[in-house]
Amino acid sequence: MEPIPYNKPFLCGNEIKYIRDAVKSGKISGNGMFTQKCQRYFEDKYHYGKCLMTSSCTDALEMAAILSGVKEGDEVILPAYTFVSTALAFARQNATLVFADSRADNPNIDAAEIERLITPKTKVIVVVHYAGFVCEMKRICQIAKSHNIMLIEDAAQAFDSYYDGKAAGCFGTMATFSFHETKNIIAGEGGMLVVNDPKLYSRAEIIWEKGTNRADFSRGKVNKYQWVDIGSSFLPSELTSAFLYAQIEKSGQIQLKRIKLWTLYYKLLKPFEDKGYIALPFHQPEATGNGHIFYIVCKNSKQRKKIADYLGEKQILAVTHYLGLHKSPYFKDSYKGTPLKNCDKYEDTLLRLPLYYELRLEDVKYICNTIGDILDYLNIK
């Protein structure tokens, strides 16, 4: 058996061709034909407001944090069980980070926790759709609306995920996506900001283009472009968007395969959940997954280590995930909240299994058999 990695970037075939097209066109900086094709695709297919391609989801989150207008003294509620970038963008605006716990039944932020943490200073709620399963948006949108708090979705993992028939990225005032090589569709490094509030469209473009009104200039609306606001160089070059466009064209095929692999994992591991050995992913009934991550929740960190080590011996790479941000070296001294027991639980027990386009169905069978062997062994002993 060849070793089975955790992830393997998939090339759809037209990436180099489109990059060559971009080079030949003579326009390789940002906001050219491929950037606009990508943006239009997302706006049309998923009914997003305005889409702006970025160099990463981290950049898109930074734009969202700037556009949200949060400043020192304002509070931002966000999950502790997430990637650093979710927090980083708001920390840079000097906002007070208020970390919320995950649900007991899945790693997404718990709506009851959000309600518990709201104060008159709360300006933004950030949700992360972990593993591509959209959070309990019905309740979270109601909470945000009733308290008049801006909602932002870190949808880095939620490309082509749905909740109640609506795509991830449609729920927040803004949403951010990632096309990092570990995600479902990729551009090496890449991301996108979705802006759903038309009042923010024009400022979003300015921040995107280094604080200038260059986008209006390109449209012929002004005859000189100038420095009009803060911003940065958030836009990707045409080479990145050309690569991504090749992935977009094949995204239907990628999604089908990933969901097939995910579903097979679920089916083959279900008997072990039924025996009470491990837990499988649980999600809101309204949420439809996108086959981004398949994870198991082990009984404790010891059991997880034994499973991961045994898989390692069999050349299968399974990996843990986040360490709670509230306990991170950078933040722990500033953390004023209560212990977050569900976040701690996932930190100790969640194990991600290999999932990528070129993984074969027989690989999944082999991985599940191997997990079955170690679980039976551990439970007979």
Ligand X SMILES: *Cc1c(COP(=O)(O)O)cnc(C)c1O
**CA quadruple 295, 297, 300, 301: dihedral, nearest 10:** 10
Are the beta carbons of 227 and 20 closer than 8 angstroms? Answer: no
Q: How far is the CB of 189 from ligand X (least distance, A)?
A: 6
Q: Give the nearer residue to ligand X in terms of CB position, either 85 or 240.
A: 85
Kindly tell me which of 114 and 127 has the beta carbon lying closer to ligand X: 127
For ligand X, the closer of residues 105 and 181 by Cβ is: 181
CA distances from 53 to 11, 126, 178, 362 (A): 20, 20, 10, 37
* Min CB(179)–ligand X separation in Å: 7
In whole angstroms, what is the distance from residue 291 CA to residue 274 CA? 22
Structure tokens at 153: 């979705």
Whose Cβ is closer to ligand X: residue 184's or residue 370's? 184
Distance of CA 332 to the CA centre of its chain: 24
**Shortest spacing between CB 24 and ligand X, in angstroms:** 28
What is d(CA 379, CA 376) in angstroms, rounded to the nearest whole number? 5
Judged by CB, which is closer to ligand X: 78, or 375?
78
Inter-CA distances, 231 with 38, 60, 107, 152, 207, Å: 22, 12, 33, 19, 4
Q: How far is the CB of 81 from ligand X (least distance, A)?
A: 10
In terms of Cβ atoms closer than 10 Å to its own Cβ (0-12, 13-18, 19+), residue 275 is exposed
Binding site for ligand X (CB under 6 A): 56-58, 82-83, 85-86, 128, 154, 156-157, 178, 180, 191
Residue 153 beta carbon to ligand X: minimum distance, rounded to whole angstroms: 10
CA-based angle 290:183:144, to the nearest 5? 65
Nearer Cβ to ligand X (234/272): 234
Query: In angstroms, what is the minimal distance from the CB of 83 to ligand X?
Result: 4
> What's 136's DSSP letter?
-
Rg value, the chain, Cα: 21
Taking the least distance from each CB to ligand X, the nearer of 158 and 246 is 158
13: left (phi over 0), alpha (psi -120 to 50) or beta: left
Tell the smallest beta-carbon distance from residue 148 to ligand X (Å): 26
